[in-house]
Chains A and B, each alone.
Chain A
Amino acid sequence: AQTVTQSQPEMSVQEAETVTLSCTYDTSESDYYLFWYKQPPSRQMILVIRQEAYKQQNATENRFSVNFQKAAKSFSLKISDSQLGDAAMYFCAYRPFSGGGADGLTFGKGTHLIIQP
């Protein structure tokens, strides 16, 4: 079974600075998808960024980018120019490339990101 580990329960960063959230995963598959979700106090789960394992290029979405190291099974999220609205829980998640339905996303335990003004 796949596991996803987020080793930082909480991170704090000054507004306008850059912060990196860590995520490692364990899988025997060669193809899969990785995601970062944001959960603000409203509870809504919001997709931030996704990465296909077969793509070598790191995904980027505006101020959000990932550092995907397939051999190390590492998938970190970098947030540049942090804003107060970035304060939230961030979850790393894994999805197999193929599956008959038993392919529910496997989530890490989350990292609580605090933005200090």
Chain B
Amino acid sequence: NAGVTQTPKFRILKIGQSMTLQCAQDMNHNYMYWYRQDPGMGLKLIYYSVGAGITDKGEVPNGYNVSRSTTEDFPLRLELAAPSQTSVYFCASSYSADRAYGYTFGSGTRLTVV
């Protein structure tokens, strides 16, 4: 059972470039989330999805887009990379019926924009 898989693990982008961070889960979780983690700031919610075809903004959505065409996949798109998007990105998933469980996290993507 793979859990939540994120790719790539590391990436360096130039300012203005675009990229997609991939996230896939095989636990049939209906809820999926994208967080960013900046040093000393904890994790901030970027976008979330409660099921295929449904997405919504979190606390810090500017500069990002998401889609959820299947239950398993929840990619995060950066259209015009900026230095402020240098961060570690985490994808997570959970099952709505088991709210006490918390989340299953991916191993993160470290993104540097230069």
A interface, CB within 8 angstroms of B: 4, 9, 33, 35, 37, 42-45, 47, 50, 52, 91, 93, 95, 97-98, 100-105, 107-110
Q: Which residues in B have their C-beta under 8 angstroms from that of A109? A: 40-42
Most buried by B among A47, A93, A98, A101: A101
Query: When A95-B99, A95-B102 are in contact, do A45 and B90 touch as well, CB less than 8 Å?
Result: yes
Cα of A37 to Cα of B42 in the assembled complex, Å: 11
Q: Are B102 and A104 in contact (CB under 8 A)?
A: no
Q: Are A97 and B42 in contact (CB under 8 A)?
A: no
**Per-residue 0/1 for B88-114: is the Cβ within 8 Å of any A Cβ (1 yes, 0 no)?**
101010001001111101011010000
Cα of A37 to Cα of B105 in the assembled complex, Å: 11
Q: A27 CB to closest chain B CB, in angstroms?
A: 15
Interface size counted on chain B using CB atoms at 8 A:
28
Cα of A103 to Cα of B103 in the assembled complex, Å: 11
Query: When A44-B107, A45-B90, A50-B100 are in contact, do A101 and B48 touch as well, CB less than 8 Å?
Result: yes
A-B contact pairs, 16 of them (CB 8 A): A43-B107, A43-B110, A44-B107, A50-B100, A50-B101, A50-B102, A91-B43, A101-B31, A101-B48, A101-B54, A104-B33, A104-B48, A105-B43, A105-B92, A105-B103, A107-B42
Extra contacts besides A45-B105, A95-B99 (4): CB < 8 Å: A101-B31, A105-B92, A107-B42, A109-B40
Cα of A4 to Cα of B56 in the assembled complex, Å: 22
Q: A100 CB to closest chain B CB, in angstroms?
A: 7
Cα of A4 to Cα of B110 in the assembled complex, Å: 25
Q: Are A102 and B42 in contact (CB under 8 A)?
A: no
Cα of A10 to Cα of B33 in the assembled complex, Å: 28
- Interface residues in B57-114 by Cβ distance below 8 A to A read 58-59, 88, 90, 92, 96, 99-103, 105, 107-108, 110
Q: Are B102 and A35 in contact (CB under 8 A)?
A: yes
B52 within 8 A of A: no
Q: Are A43 and B99 in contact (CB under 8 A)?
A: no
Q: Which residues in A have their C-beta under 8 angstroms from that of B49? A: 101
Q: Which residues in B have their C-beta under 8 angstroms from that of A47? A: 102-103
4 A-B pairs with the lowest CB-CB distances in the bound complex, closest first: A101-B50, A45-B105, A104-B45, A107-B42
